[in-house]
Chain A
Amino acid sequence: MGGNKPVRETALKKIALRWIIAFAVMSLLPFFVPHGWLRVLIIANFLAIFAMSWDIMSGYTGYISFGHNFLLGISAYASVLLIHHFDVPLYLSMPIGVLIAAVGGVGFVLPTLRVRGPYFTLFTLGLFILFERIMITLGPITGGTRGLFGFPTVLKGAVPNFYLTLVLVFAVAFALWYLGQTDFGRVLNAIRLDEDVVENSGLDTTRFKLLSFLMSSIAAGIGAVFFIHYLGALCPRSVFAVFLLLNIIIASVIGGMGTIIGPFMGAYIITIILEGLRAVAPGPWRIATYAAIGLIIFILRPRGIFFEIQRLFRRRR
């Protein structure tokens, strides 16, 4: 998997340069890409944040969560409900939403951290479904299945929103990628490989898992509040959709789990595939073709696209 050695000072400059180049290239996109596609890339940026925040927990530690939407949901609902019912200003409701994701995420997952494998996955899935039901049931407060709309957005227009999300996605990507390169990330990776060995090395695995989940929750919460205040409308489907969960996981898997950059790339790839297919494969055929493409990439390159790119560069040297 990615990053076999932690960042050494010598390599830092070179790596920083790569990040800057990537950011610069992508910030030129609005000059070449039509506005319709720019909106697609905005969604790709959000998906990338969700996928990377999933990756720092599940991709690194191997604790596969099917409950990422739970984190997205509680932070998005928290922010919107605060605005809708208490007239809390946007600049307060959004950080509170992120805080709720952190507290809720850690609070609910804390008891499950001793549970391994499928039990953990099932618990997180249960959490996700439970909260979707609760939000629907609390119709008078949450707007039920119809949801709430008419609340403020952060910015208007495709170009400003593209730049906003680009800055966000790069900030989250760099922070999580950096974490992954430190010994902290190494330990998370070791937990996936063999948790007993990590514990036997004098490291408190529960604490590491908790920290990784906390970071995952915060990143997911940041993505979710900006996402919902980009859409300007909130309904259970916008955050609790199973399709969104699948996209998050597929982006991470075909991009390369446990690499952060992989899920970033994966999010772009699948968003572009999904949009591109609109023209050629109508209706259900679009989803079927998308699933098939995803599956083929996974079968041919199970370690993910980022791993293959790294290998390509290594061979060239």
Chain B
Amino acid sequence: MKFKDFSEGGGNRKDMAKVIETRGISKRFGGITAVNSLDFHVEEKEIVGLIGPNGAGKTTVFNLIMGVLRQDSGDIIFNGTNINNYPTHKRVKIGIARTYQIPKPLKEWTIFENIRISMIPDGIKSIRRIGGREEDIRRIAKETGLTEYLEKYPDELPIGALRRLELARALANDPKLILIDEAFAGMTKEEIDVISELLKKKRKEGMSFIIIDHNLEALANIVDRVIVIHLGRKLAEGKLQEIIKKEDVKKAYLGE
């Protein structure tokens, strides 16, 4: 890597492999089309922001990628494999993880155990083997700033820490791609900086991210590219600084 530095962003890396690609995915709920023939992709070591007004279909896109919902039409390709028929747990196993918009910790479990669940072996193997190594859990806790909370229960944690727990649990799956639903909401400036640095570091190590957030200032700091969706359609795509100047994007965000 003498001539090009792939570790930092840039939308012009045509030679990079696509981690995930959607081809014309659509999802209707009754009469409402939540996602409308959406095409996009994320490359290796890329952080993509998925932005748009409330109700644009952002979380639905995440649910489709995770297989929580199935698209009515279109294909989802992960690392060159069509994953349309994969159940959620299988998508997680091949390297896609997600965080929830509203943190969903296991309330009766300690933070340590909440991180560990992603490391538990599947099926009958879970009887014989205790999942996860303590050092890995501690490393992830340290990265996400949760070390002091490891023996605590979720209801003892502030909202920012619960969001970081979401990220910790996703990281514990050892994924190639993480979908982050609301990365920074409820976080202090310091927390945002810590998480931003962590995401950049993970990108360097080879991970990709799709991030939903309304905090464009925080996003500007880390994303290589943004995709704007509105009413389930892709409205614009490109560098954040250029995108937000576009008239139709402004209109979608501000109404009028």
Residues of A within 8 A of B (CB): 1, 4-6, 179, 182-184, 186-187, 189-190, 193-194, 196-205, 207-208, 211
The distance from the CB of A10 to the nearest CB of chain B, in whole angstroms, is 13
Residues of B within 8 A of A (CB): 66, 68, 87-90, 92-93, 97-98, 100, 104-110, 113, 117-118, 120-124, 126-131, 169, 172-173
The distance from the CB of B225 to the nearest CB of chain A, in whole angstroms, is 26
**A201-B118, A201-B120, A211-B123 given as contacts; is B104 within 8 A of A4 (CB)?**
no
Determine whether the beta carbon of B120 is less than 8 Å from that of A193. no
From A179, A182, A200, name the one whose CB has the most chain B CB atoms within 10 angstroms.
A200
Determine whether the beta carbon of A186 is less than 8 Å from that of B120. yes
**A4-B108, A190-B109 given as contacts; is B121 within 8 A of A204 (CB)?**
no
Determine whether the beta carbon of B127 is less than 8 Å from that of A179. yes
**A6-B130, A182-B127, A183-B130 given as contacts; is B106 within 8 A of A202 (CB)?**
no
Q: Which residue of B lies closest to A211 (CB)?
A: B124
Determine whether the beta carbon of B127 is less than 8 Å from that of A202. no
Determine whether the beta carbon of A193 is less than 8 Å from that of B107. yes
**A184-B126, A207-B122, A208-B123 given as contacts; is B93 within 8 A of A194 (CB)?**
no
Contact pick for A193, options B109, B126, B173, CB 8 Å: B109
The distance from the CB of B152 to the nearest CB of chain A, in whole angstroms, is 13
Query: Residues of A contacting B169 with CB < 8 Å?
Result: 201
Q: A182-B126, A193-B109 are in contact. List 18 more A-B contacts (CB 8 A).
A: A4-B110, A182-B130, A183-B130, A186-B126, A190-B117, A194-B104, A196-B68, A199-B88, A200-B88, A201-B89, A201-B92, A201-B173, A202-B92, A203-B122, A204-B87, A207-B123, A208-B126, A211-B124
Query: Residues of A contacting B93 with CB < 8 Å?
Result: 202
Contact pick for A189, options B108, B127, B131, CB 8 Å: B108
Determine whether the beta carbon of A193 is less than 8 Å from that of B106. yes
Determine whether the beta carbon of A1 is less than 8 Å from that of B120. no
Q: Which residue of A lies closest to B114 (CB)?
A: A197
The distance from the CB of A11 to the nearest CB of chain B, in whole angstroms, is 13
Query: Residues of A contacting B88 with CB < 8 Å?
Result: 199-200
**A4-B113, A193-B107 given as contacts; is B118 within 8 A of A202 (CB)?**
yes
Determine whether the beta carbon of A204 is less than 8 Å from that of B108. no
How far is B99's CA from A196's CA once the two chains are assembled, in angstroms? 11
Query: Residues of B contacting A196 with CB < 8 Å?
Result: 68, 104
The distance from the CB of B128 to the nearest CB of chain A, in whole angstroms, is 8
Determine whether the beta carbon of B127 is less than 8 Å from that of A197. no
Contact pick for B123, options A1, A182, A204, CB 8 Å: A204
How far is B178's CA from A250's CA once the two chains are assembled, in angstroms? 44
The distance from the CB of B171 to the nearest CB of chain A, in whole angstroms, is 12
The distance from the CB of B162 to the nearest CB of chain A, in whole angstroms, is 13
Determine whether the beta carbon of B106 is less than 8 Å from that of A200. no
Interchain residue pairs with CB less than 8 A apart (23): A4-B108, A4-B110, A6-B130, A179-B127, A182-B130, A183-B120, A183-B130, A184-B126, A186-B113, A186-B126, A190-B106, A190-B109, A197-B104, A197-B105, A198-B117, A199-B92, A200-B66, A202-B89, A203-B89, A203-B120, A203-B122, A207-B123, A211-B123
How far is B173's CA from A1's CA once the two chains are assembled, in angstroms? 26
How far is B173's CA from A6's CA once the two chains are assembled, in angstroms? 20
Determine whether the beta carbon of B68 is less than 8 Å from that of A187. no
The distance from the CB of B155 to the nearest CB of chain A, in whole angstroms, is 13
How far is B148's CA from A21's CA once the two chains are assembled, in angstroms? 39
How far is B94's CA from A202's CA once the two chains are assembled, in angstroms? 9
How far is B123's CA from A145's CA once the two chains are assembled, in angstroms? 42
Query: Residues of B contacting A200 with CB < 8 Å?
Result: 66, 88-89, 92, 97-98, 100
Q: Which residue of A lies closest to B68 (CB)?
A: A196
**A4-B108, A190-B106, A194-B104 given as contacts; is B131 within 8 A of A183 (CB)?**
yes
Query: Residues of B contacting A203 with CB < 8 Å?
Result: 89, 117, 120, 122
How far is B219's CA from A136's CA once the two chains are assembled, in angstroms? 68
Query: Residues of B contacting A193 with CB < 8 Å?
Result: 106-109
The distance from the CB of A258 to the nearest CB of chain B, in whole angstroms, is 10
Q: Which residue of A lies closest to B97 (CB)?
A: A200
The distance from the CB of A197 to the nearest CB of chain B, in whole angstroms, is 5
The distance from the CB of B163 to the nearest CB of chain A, in whole angstroms, is 15
How far is B89's CA from A208's CA once the two chains are assembled, in angstroms? 12
How far is B109's CA from A1's CA once the two chains are assembled, in angstroms? 10
The distance from the CB of B184 to the nearest CB of chain A, in whole angstroms, is 21
Determine whether the beta carbon of A197 is less than 8 Å from that of B117. yes
How far is B126's CA from A184's CA once the two chains are assembled, in angstroms? 5
How far is B88's CA from A207's CA once the two chains are assembled, in angstroms? 13
The distance from the CB of B129 to the nearest CB of chain A, in whole angstroms, is 7
Query: Residues of B contacting A187 with CB < 8 Å?
Result: 117, 120, 126
Query: Residues of B contacting A186 with CB < 8 Å?
Result: 113, 117, 120, 126
